Amino acid sequence: MEKCATQRARFLGFAGGHFVVCAISVAFLAFTALGGIWPWVLAAGLMLLYLPAGAGAAVLLSWSRPSPGAWRRSVLWASLAAWVWGFGGWSGLWLGAALEWELLFSLCFWALLSTLFLATPSFVWMACTLGTLESLPSGGTPLWYGAIALAGFLPALLFHLGALAGSDFRPKRAAGGPEGPVPGQKRPQNGPGAGPMGGRVWLFAAGSAAVLALSLTACGGQEPQASISEALDLDVAAGETCSYTDSHGGFHGDGTTCAVLRFPNDRVMTQIQEDPRWSPFPLDETVRALVYGLSWETDREAFHVGPYLTDEEGETLVPDIQNGYYRLMDRHAERDAPGDPGILGRASFNFTLGIYDADEDLLYFCQMDT
């Protein structure tokens, strides 16, 4: 028999399905951590697990189709619970850091970190968003807060859309009792167009899927010129792609990107010359160590550092350039911390480097994350 589930029952059903999705996601991450899956594809895939979770809950718990108002309230209450955790935790973390309240900072930090197990798809979604930012989020980072809102809303939305599907396609007994329908009585309709919400729900579902697809396109499907322009704050749309390699992948998104763009004139060089963030050759020691390596000797010992931007055979990705300009951007989270040893002294790298060859009108764009 179908049950007209209460708001409390639907919320508890969502909680149960949510933790099943998280358990599956954590087990899946153990394999994807080895690499091979784009982070945003992984995040969207884990989110989409809420659709079958909702359908399974509706079938197992014999839920009937809710009214439009009850359905919206079910989505809202589940979203509010996630938003209180996400926005509350981030606000407490920011406030604790600003006021130097170590206890508040620690509690909120560990609360947010626990979402790796308590809300795995949302955690991966936020990790991907953090990877797209050039600096740590702050009060002026709308993309970060929009991602928190989506991370709390999408699980509730997708679960309850799945629940609608489960209630729609459950086998229903025909009107008139065990013997079948009464002669002359219409058989009750079933399927995506039936019920008080009709086809609007399925139109809404299609729109939600489109939102996910657009998110993937916006975050992971840019052309090299578009992503390079954004990273270097430089208009390189006129550049012709000579080569492009990208080994980024896995859960953490580690890897190296190297692109070479050729330009028909010196317009990009003019932009670079007018931008004080670009420095003329020769390269400083840090950039030279990253690109070509550095060697020196003392009375007792010889030292060698780098190169780090190399291909699989250990060859440097950037050829020897005599004249040009360069810009190095350190994206490491500890770059402003007291006592930070700098790029070459850390155990991991997170930097973006642009090198312009003025003789050949070539731009070399490199990103490294370890």
Cα dihedral sign, 253-254-255-258 = positive
pLDDT at 351: 86
Does 282 sit behind a cis peptide bond, omega within 30 degrees of 0 on the bond before it? yes
Map tokens 């704050």 to a residue.
233
Cβ atoms of 277 and 327 within 8 Å: the answer is yes
* DSSP, res 343: G
3-state secondary structure 9-47: HHHHHHHHHHHHHHHHHHHHHHHHCCCCCCHHHHHHHHH
If we measure between CA atoms, which residue out of 354, 327, 356, 353 comes closest to residue 263? 356
Cβ atoms of 362 and 266 within 8 Å: the answer is no
Map tokens 């899946």 to a residue.
28
Cβ atoms of 294 and 300 within 8 Å: the answer is no
pLDDT at 178: 45
- Give CA separation, 187 vs 174, 178, 260, 296, in Å: 6, 13, 66, 87
If we measure between CA atoms, which residue out of 281, 221, 285, 226 comes closest to residue 259? 226
For 357, the enclosing helix (H) or strand (E) is strand 350-357
* DSSP, res 87: H
For 243, the enclosing helix (H) or strand (E) is strand 240-246
- Give CA separation, 88 vs 12, 181, 286, in Å: 22, 54, 40
Map tokens 């991966």 to a residue.
124
Residue type, 285: E
Per-residue pLDDT of the chain (370 residues; tens, 9 = 90+): 455 678 888 898 899 999 999 989 888 776 655 444 567 788 888 999 999 999 888 888 888 888 888 889 999 999 999 999 999 988 888 888 888 888 888 898 898 888 888 899 999 888 888 777 656 676 667 888 888 999 999 999 999 998 888 887 655 544 444 444 445 545 444 444 444 444 444 444 444 454 444 444 444 444 678 888 888 888 888 888 888 887 765 545 577 888 899 998 888 899 999 999 999 988 888 888 888 887 767 767 776 776 888 887 778 888 889 899 999 888 776 666 665 667 777 777 888 899 999 998 999 999 888 7
Helix axes 198-220, 142-168, angle to 10 degrees: 140
Contacts 24+ apart (CB under 8 A), 85-92: 85/111, 85/115, 85/119, 85/152, 86/112, 86/115, 86/122, 86/148, 86/151, 86/152, 87/145, 87/148, 90/148
Integer Cα distance of 225 and 227 in angstroms: 6
What value does the CA radius of gyration of the chain take, rounded to a whole number of Å? Answer: 27
Q: What is the pTM of this model?
A: 0.52
**Helix extents (H) in 33-119:** 39-48, 50-60, 68-99, 102-113, 115-118
Give residues with Cβ within 8 angstroms of 180, minimum separation 6. 174
Integer Cα distance of 33 and 250 in angstroms: 5
Domain limits, the chain: 7-220, 224-369
Q: What is the DSSP string of 273-328?
A: HT-TTSEESSPPHHHHHHHT-EEEE-SS-EEEE---SB-TTS-BSS---SSEEEEE
